[in-house]
Amino acid sequence: MGIIARQSIKSSSLNVISTVLGVIAMLFIYTKDLDAYGFLQTLIALALILSPFASLGMIGVAIKYFPNFNKDPADRSVFLGFLLLITTLGSILLVGGYFLIGIPILNLLDKPTNNFDLYIDHATSICVLSVIQVFITLLETYTINFYRLTIQTATTLLLPKIGLPIIILLYVSQGWEYGQLELALISLQSIVLFSLVGYLYYLGERKISFHIGPVIRDDKFRELVEYAAFGILGAVGSKIALSIDTVSLASYVSPEEVGIYRILVFAALVINIPFRSLVRISMPALSKHIADENVKEIDRLYQRTSLILSFLGVVLFTGIYISLNDILALTGKPDAFVGGLLTFAFLGVGRLFDLSNSINGQIISLSDMFKYNLALILLLAVLNIVLNWVFIARLDMGMFGAALATCLSLAVFNTFKTVIVYVRFKIQPFQIAQLLFLILGILLIIVWMVIPLNFHPVINILLRSAITGASFVLFVMTTNFLPDLREASRNFLQRFSIFS
């Protein structure tokens, strides 16, 4: 088993643990005060949107140009120093811009019909969180180059999943104010950041040089600057596209409704777990294949990831959809989630479309087509902003409108990306097997709609999950569409003398 497969499995295992922690928090902790949870999620979403402005394009540079400075530790120390220096400069510009430009604009737009005062009253916390977030993202991205994702994944996924529920519990039990909530969130993110710093030290990155002359004199420095410039807008557009729904919703509805929506978003993001694990560890290999102009290997990676991601996405979507009402019943506040199934359906379909299109965005961003990526991401951002404004501000569709806007935006975005990759490389990710996966998922959903279960919610969930999971495993074991998963399943089942 290669390093990509091993690291992907380890990373996926941590993602599963993170998801379990998230489910526990979602069911039994966040619902204790949906208002506070919605407030924190709004701050996090806005920090994610603003942080790329501070990066000045260094996030993408950390991956794409790492091979140029990986000859020895001294070169890496200069490269890391360059990344940190530019990001620090960007952070100063971000904070200054928010207070000097952003707040005056928000004051002009603030009306009784919106909640823009939220972004004015909590400006300091928003800026601090944005700066911390950009350094977390930078160091997280930089560590990917070492093909060592286990500790990094544990740090960036598990710590927030443990820390955020603790913050909510303290808020409820100690009678905290919003100011204490903000301080606790900043402290949590700081712990994540310093943990990544410690991990880099463990990996041997113990020196940082700010004598950046070698980077500036490098033959590809002009190309690096151009790539970074496009990367700024690309990263901003990407974060806007992925987080604007939460910020838009928070601008017009109560924090409680934002909290409900974010719980449904979490359920939909579970579908994206395979993408995060598989794509992050595949990026260095993809970068090498593109640099070598090895179209055959790019195509192989493109189709294999699409096939696996599509199947796992359908499995997760089906499993969550058929049991979501029972899952939400466990919160003790099922009435708060009226209409939640339809909201999840649109969020989930958007994620499925994203998974089926595989690594199209990564191919574009790492190739000579990265300029197109900028245009596409900005298109996605603008489309998402417009749709959210129409569905939420104008049509008053609330969280369902946010979900619909996200689904439509992802569909349009991925269609354009896949077309561009095909025009450039003459490769596409789709196979007939993916249609069969979808049909199987739809059939299972219909079966459970026709055969309702009226036991305790936990019993209902276990029965549906067991039968549905067995159906998908049987599909894998009796077909040749997924040889990698078939082999892994066979090895697992042989331990229990099944299929031996």
Question: Is residue 427 domain-shared with residue 282, that is, in the same domain?
Answer: yes
Q: 73: how many CB neighbours lie within 10 A of its CB?
A: 12
User: Do 148 and 96 reside in the same domain of the chain?
Assistant: yes
217-222 long-range Cβ contacts below 8 angstroms, 24+ apart: 218/68, 218/69, 220/65, 220/68
Residue 309 lies in a domain: yes
Whether residue 456 is contained in a domain is answered as no
Which two tokens mark 33? Answer: 């005060």
pLDDT of 232 reads 82
Instruction: Tell whether the torsion through CA atoms of 26, 31, 36 and 38 is positive or negative.
Output: positive
- Angle (CA) 23-25-26 rounded to 5° is 60
Question: Measured on CA atoms in the order 61, 45, 396, 25, is the torsion positive or negative?
Answer: positive
Cβ(7)–Cβ(146) below 8 Å: no
Same domain? For 279 and 237 the reply is no
Residue 326 and residue 188: Cα distance in Å, rounded?
32
Contacts for 6-9 with beta carbons within 8 Å, 24 or more apart?
A: 7/147, 7/148, 7/149, 7/150, 7/281, 8/277, 8/278, 8/281, 8/282
Q: Which of 394, 420, 444 is the last residue of a domain?
A: 444
Q: What is the pLDDT of residue 5?
A: 53
How many domains in the chain?
A: 2
Bin 175: left if φ > 0, else alpha if -120 < ψ < 50, else beta: left
On whether both 161 and 264 belong to a single domain, the answer is: no
Per the structure, the complete domain to which residue 431 belongs is given by 260-444
Q: Identify whether 385 is part of a domain.
A: yes
155 and 184 share a domain? yes
Domain check: are 189 and 286 in the same one? no
Please provide residue 218's backbone torsions phi and psi, each rounded to the nearest 5 degrees: -60, 145
Q: Which of 396, 424, 444 is the last residue of a domain?
A: 444
Instruction: Please check whether residue 215 is in contact with residue 88, taking contact to mean a CB–CB distance below 8 angstroms.
Output: no
Look at residues 398, 429, 444 and tell me which one is the last residue of a structural domain: 444
Q: Are residues 305 and 390 in the same domain?
A: yes
**pTM strictly above 0.85:** no
Nearest Cα neighbor of 433 from 320, 346, 309 is 309
Sort 493 into a burial class: Cβ within 10 Å, 0-12 / 13-18 / 19+. Answer: middle
Contacts 24+ apart (CB under 8 A), 119-123: 119/46, 122/43, 122/178, 122/182, 123/98, 123/99
pLDDT tens per residue across all 500 residues of the chain: 455 555 556 666 777 788 889 889 988 999 999 999 999 999 999 999 999 999 998 888 888 888 777 777 777 888 888 899 999 999 999 999 999 999 999 999 888 878 888 999 999 999 999 999 999 999 988 887 776 667 777 888 889 999 999 999 999 999 899 899 999 999 999 999 999 999 888 887 777 877 777 778 777 788 888 888 877 877 787 788 778 889 989 999 889 999 999 999 999 988 987 887 777 677 778 888 888 888 899 999 898 889 989 999 999 999 999 999 999 999 888 888 888 899 999 999 999 999 998 888 888 888 888 778 778 877 888 888 899 999 998 898 999 999 999 999 989 989 999 999 999 999 999 999 899 999 999 999 999 999 988 899 999 999 999 999 999 988 888 888 877 677 766 776 666 555 44
Residue 51 and residue 181 in one domain: yes
Q: Does 41 reside within a domain?
A: yes
* Shared-domain flag, residues 221 and 285: no
Query: Same domain, yes or no, for 314 and 436?
Result: yes
Residue 122, domain member (yes or no): yes
What is the CA angle 144-150-154, rounded to 5?
Answer: 105
> What string of H, E and C letters represents the secondary structure of 99-149?
HHHHHHHHHHHCCCCCCCHHHHHCHHHHHHHHHHHHHHHHHHHHHHCCCCC
Q: What is residue 243's predicted lDDT score, i.e. its pLDDT?
A: 85
In a domain, 481, yes or no: no
What per-residue confidence (pLDDT) applies to 1?
46
The answer on 222 and 297 residing in a single domain is no
**Sign of the torsion formed by the C-alpha atoms of 184, 185, 188 and 190:** negative
Identify whether residues 264 and 146 lie together within a single domain: no
Looking at the domain assignment, is residue 459 inside a domain?
no
Whether residue 465 lies inside any domain: the answer is: no
How far apart are the C-alpha atoms of 70 and 63, rounded to whole Å?
Answer: 11
